[in-house]
Amino acid sequence: MRRFATLFAALDGTTSTSAKVAALAEYFRTAPEDDRLWTIALLSGRRPRRSVTATELREWAAEAAGLPLWLFEESYPVVGDLAETIALVLPDPARATERSLAEWIGTIRALAGRPPPARKAAILDAWDGLGPEERFLFNKLITGGFRMGVSQKLMTRALAAATGLDEAELAHRLMGAWTPETVSYRTLIHAGDPAADLSRPYPFFLAYPLEAEPGTLGDPAEWFAEWKWDGIRGQIVFRGGALALWSRGEELITDRFPEFARLADFLPAGTVIDGEVMAWAGGAPLPFAELQKRIGRKTVPRKLLAEAPAMLLAYDLLEAEGADLRPLPFATRRARLEALAATLPPDAPLRLSPELPFAGWDALAALRAGAGAARAEGLMLKRRASAYGVGRRRGDWWKWKVDPMTVDAVMVYAQAGHGRRATLFTDFTFAVRDGDDFVPFAKAYSGLTDAEFAEITRWVRANTLERFGPVRRVPPELVFEIAFEGIQASPRHRSGIALRFPRMVRWRRDKPVAEIDTLEGLRALLAARG
């Protein structure tokens, strides 16, 4: 654990990408294999399942520190992180325990299902043998909130440097449903797992936002355009007679979309298709809200299957008859995808994402203006000569989204942030007018500068009307412009409306509360978006 704590300190103490890669590579060269495997798992989002509640940890830590629980609870929002608060208040350890990262994770996993007294004894014993930095990491692992500020792409680059293996091949091996309980480091990294290869997707190729004018991309003839669909990015993998659907977040979601099982009757063996999962009916996409009803479900009732049937809008062919097509030009892959799609019956739950021909950049801009009517977020631009890469890379794939919708609203509640923002009020609830009333409709916490957050924090402290735990009600005086990507009906909210990806664009110091938008206006916008 001490070696892992040293790695964490090195990563947390620098913003240099090369320094992070060097620290990770050295760790992957020297750490025990079980620790390397768990580190790879943690950095790719595979964390041990939580076995102790946050309430239990707070109570046990306060007791061990000799503090009344109320004082611990007052300290927690100031620090902004439960794991760090516990590490700070605990007394010095009585001994030094030399155990590896894998051994400590084994201890955490063994707590599942044990009675509270046994779990408490194990946690107190662990705290008593770990130094402050190691306690902090141990607490993070217990709570399931572990973050190291390192992307999976950067971690893969470091692993390639440590092992001498190809980075793209490593990225592919790290995809799929493996866990440290089901595979060893040597099998995962060096030997490969033939059984896992059958269902494993490819790393997704991601687009960069196009912020310049599209004319900077050069000759329009070199580019392919299609809608940027507002759905769930996914890969259909059909190998060994089994069909799997993977999300971009490396989650196996086959069971949530049983419609796609029919594709096993039509697709050739050894096929992998990249596309967008959409709710689809009547030859057109349904609002994202209809698809969202299915996202969090393990099983989908018949009624919901009928109301929001799924369709895969296919836009790339990554594997055909077991051959990896990713190095081929996009134009070649697209032609083969079109030929494959032509063999499917008309009622198959897969159709091509249509190409949008354009004569020039001005014509493309006109197409983009109609994205809303197509229930799309904008356009995707793909260089016809481009290979299918790994992760996000500039130059070949661009997303040119339409400008977000905006609304002017007033802040009515404020809450402190976490981590380095624990001393600032950064999380706000906003309202619009409804006659003489103010109706909350959205929360946002990003988009302002640190200086603005500091100024708002001073105002909140001086103007608090009521406190509800960490939340403060404030007078409706500060107006902000809120941007969002989508709007949908929501019976769970008092306003009847929910926004997609709301964020603050600017603090409207120039605008009085009397001129903010209304609930009626939001309802009209919802109706217009259909």
Active site residues: 228
| Cα–Cα distance, 503 to 314 (Å, whole number) | 31
SS3 readout for 280-329: EECCEECCHHHHHHHHCCCCCCHHHHHHCCEEEEEEEEEEECCEECCCCC
Instruction: Give the number of other Cβ atoms within 10 Å of residue 327's Cβ.
Output: 11
| Cα–Cα distance, 291 to 279 (Å, whole number) | 5
Q: Which two tokens stand for residue 141?
A: 């692992």
Residues near 283 by beta carbon (within 8 Å), at least 6 away in sequence = none
Is-contact 382 397, C-beta < 8 A?
A: yes
Cα distances (angstroms) measured from residue 392 to each of 168, 206, 384: 13, 5, 17
Is-contact 364 214, C-beta < 8 A?
A: yes
| Cα–Cα distance, 436 to 429 (Å, whole number) | 18
Q: Which residue type sits at 364?
A: L
For tokens 């018949």, what's the residue?
302
| Cα–Cα distance, 432 to 429 (Å, whole number) | 11
| Cα–Cα distance, 504 to 444 (Å, whole number) | 6
Q: How far from the centroid of its chain's Cα atoms is residue 339's Cα?
A: 33
| Cα–Cα distance, 400 to 423 (Å, whole number) | 37
Hey, which residues does 406 pair with through a beta bridge?
483
Residues near 282 by beta carbon (within 8 Å), at least 6 away in sequence = none
Return the closest-CA partner of residue 51 out of 148, 144, 177: 144
Return the closest-CA partner of residue 470 out of 96, 100, 77, 137: 77
Return the closest-CA partner of residue 352 out of 363, 340, 341, 364: 341
Helix or strand or coil: residue 366? helix
Return the closest-CA partner of residue 435 out of 354, 329, 364, 521: 521
- The per-type count for the chain, helices as H runs and strands as E runs, is 19, 22
